[in-house]
Chain A
């Protein structure tokens, strides 16, 4: 019997696993998809919010601020791409200035450090590319951008290294009470566990209702984005927010940790994980973003995508034990600032487990930390030395992003190995650039086939069923010669 089964390995499940892996407990992560961080975690704004948005006194406010403090340390320890670039909430009209003041007060009450209300001149001095309608801004230096799927992957890798079991393609389809805990139905059998952490993202309410009717309702909400070429990456240097208005929540414009520009999202309720982009949604994003940064050159867009987040019918996170199911802990409704709060949310889960007497002793041989080689970021001397030592780093596979075979091999053999083309993309970065995998795709496929002993016909783009190739040509000659 496991001590804890974590359902879902997005950033919340990963943070919980990472936190738990420090303790001497038998932990398993049950991830429905064939890879971790393959749902909301890979398709969001990638922002660690300063924490002035949530209403003071809410759990959301406390965990947001605590979460981003922890995130900074974790990203440094685990070599996750992170940049504390700060954020500006713009007032694009005199009428919006009181809202900035309101956010400032919120932030102060929430313990957000270093905020300042900037005048129009100060704002434009900081960001010359902004609309000349700018009247002022709320500056929050503690806001940061991160690589959200790398964040989740890194935490999962360390957890696995320290004994947490990860099962992929392991969708939980039922849950029942048993003596001392729960029995979860998964493909091919069951998993028995004393406690459950429900981090099932947009399906958290459905998973919860497997054991008990849920008293919360997830409203899957889709947000569409544009990702622009690095030539637009310096259009702004900070995260640029807008004030919400009668048209809805504003659209943000932000640099990414990779040097691209990210623009979005809109917000539309959808069924399940409907990640399609719509022309009206993208039009809205484009037009709204241009209100803050009029000069964005959308001709330099390299990709449009959408992510679905787990909105709720209430305005706070759902964190706690289900009263009718002791040991069943929900970490649900993790919409913004869910990513920001992740490690603090995990701390809450740990606290509950501790209270229940489940938490084991701290592992004396716990191995924290992670180092990730990024060839393109090395100096010429470092590159030369690396290639000499490991020639696989001498073969560049992804031209657009300068990603080497060495990095791809590391992705295929890591503690949470990639086995799909997008899995390699999320770990090594190959295929993220301006040609979107057109050049490196066949080469990555070949490496996956070679390293994992898979037939090219079985290799997936991402999720199950997304086979890249359908058959061989010239099948008649297969067993000839």
Chain B
């Protein structure tokens, strides 16, 4: 039995997830928790936000994010992939910086315009 705090809404229900029993969830305040509890133990994912170097613009870093959640276990790998990226202005929000980063299926996209 594992305890997982649901993050679907601010209620933050403390879920009890039984891995031995097909990830049956108890303690959820609403149906969303059922899927969340199982996901969090089988395929936990996260959206990653970070920055990359930028040249020619108002700031020397540009904020970026993964276009969809990526496996939690690959967080460090994805962040490392950003380390040597350098963007040049003009930058447009949503520009793809890295396609299919670390084979996760998610892209790294920019989060702002920068002239």
Contact = CB atoms under 8 A, between A and B. Distances in A.
Interface of A: 473-478, 480-481
Contacts of A478: 53
Given A474-B51, A474-B82, 16 more contacts: A473-B51, A474-B53, A474-B84, A474-B85, A475-B83, A477-B52, A477-B53, A477-B84, A477-B85, A478-B53, A480-B53, A480-B84, A480-B85, A480-B86, A481-B55, A481-B86
A445 to B, nearest CB: 14
A481 B88 contact: yes
21 contacts: A473-B51, A474-B51, A474-B52, A474-B53, A474-B61, A474-B85, A475-B83, A476-B83, A477-B53, A477-B83, A477-B84, A477-B85, A477-B86, A478-B53, A480-B85, A480-B86, A481-B53, A481-B55, A481-B86, A481-B87, A481-B88
A477 to B, nearest CB: 4
Contacts of B55: 481
Tell me whether chain A's interface is mostly helix, strand or loop, or mixed: loop
A470 to B, nearest CB: 16
B56 to A, nearest CB: 10
A477 B98 CA distance: 14
A481 B88 CA distance: 8
B61 A476 contact: no
B84 A473 contact: no
Contacts of B88: 481
A481 B86 CA distance: 6
Nearest to A480: B86
Contacts of A480: 53, 84-86
Given A481-B53, A481-B55, A473 B61 contact: yes
A341 to B, nearest CB: 51
Ranked nearest first, the 4 interchain pairs of A and B with the lowest CB-CB distance are: A481-B86, A476-B84, A476-B83, A477-B53
B110 to A, nearest CB: 14
A476 B50 CA distance: 14
Contacts of B85: 474, 477, 480
Nearest to B52: A474
A1 to B, nearest CB: 50
Most chain A CB within 10 A, of B53, B55, B87, B88, is at B53
B7 to A, nearest CB: 27
A446 to B, nearest CB: 11
Nearest to B85: A477
Most chain A CB within 10 A, of B61, B82, B84, B87, is at B84
A194 to B, nearest CB: 53
Nearest to B79: A474
A269 B52 CA distance: 51
Interface string B55-89: 10000010000000000000000000011111110
Contacts of B61: 473-474
